Amino acid sequence: MRWIAALTVAIGLTGPVLAEGFTAGQRAEIVEVLRRALREDPSILRDALTALEEADTRDRAEARRAAIAANAAALFRDAADPIKGNPNGDVTIVEFFDVRCGFCKQLHPAMDALVRRDPNVRVVLKDLPVLGPNSVLAARALLASHRQGRYAAFYDALLALRVEPVEPVLRQQAERVGLDWTRLRRDMDDPAIARRIEANLRLAQTLGIEGTPALVIGETLVPGAVDLPALERLVAEARGAARR
């Protein structure tokens, strides 16, 4: 019935035609009106389907906004989350990422530039290892590095990698940024690290995130990599909405 409703809107039928509980005669009349309209102007179907797709897009966006609001504490205010940029910034970006994700690597320079250019941006980093065992291994190492206060430096190093983050590579990069590898390797096996990753995965699922990278900026979920001008526009919109 959804496509019938969309068609009736597209050809300007309102009131009783859109009411529920049609009689058999009313339904037959509606179908005949639709058939006649489509014969006279086939573009009506295209417009109706476009309207339906737009309505679905609006519904999904509203559902995502509701999910973001319902999970605001876990997204924006979890004290255990690693932070880049200004910890007290007036706009928070939550970044879900996988260090092996090519699009995350593509996004990384734009995010770095944004943080340098806008001193009031706060970036919350959510490890989301969805690309296999090496992604999980790297996420465990990253989260363990947070305990030594070197998460941001290690994150930058791993996002710059063009090789697999297998354990020898992780050790090399960890020592390069000043991490104690023995301590890091021990902390990687802490069950609390695994629980942290599981919590990020559940949160992403709740928000309807289907891949990495994904950004939450204000009330907006942004899937995929975007460039610096787009990031600056989204931050400006979030900042403006917060002031209203």
Question: Can you give the pLDDT at residue 55?
Answer: 64
Q: What is the pLDDT of residues 232-241, one digit of tens each?
A: 999 999 998 8
Residues of the chain with CATH 3.40.30.10: 73-243
Q: Encode pLDDT of 120-151 as tens digits.
A: 999 999 999 999 999 999 999 999 999 999 99
Asked whether residue 170 carries a pLDDT value surpassing 50, the answer given is yes
Write the burial class of residue 195 (CB in 10 Å: 0-12 exposed, 13-18 middle, 19+ buried).
exposed
Counting residues of the chain whose pLDDT is more than 90, the rounded percentage is 69
- CATH 3.40.109.10 describes domain 73-243: no
Give the model's pLDDT for residue 243: 78
Q: Residue 11: its pLDDT value, please? A: 43
Per the CB < 8 A criterion, the answer to whether 179 and 142 are in contact is no
User: Is pLDDT above 90 for 242?
Assistant: no
What average pLDDT does this structure show over 77-103?
96
User: Between 213 and 218, where is the model more confident?
Assistant: 213
Predicted TM-score of the model (pTM): 0.76
pLDDT digits (tens, 9 = 90+) for 20-74: 567 778 777 877 877 777 777 777 667 766 766 666 566 666 777 889 999 999 9
What's residue 52's pLDDT? 64
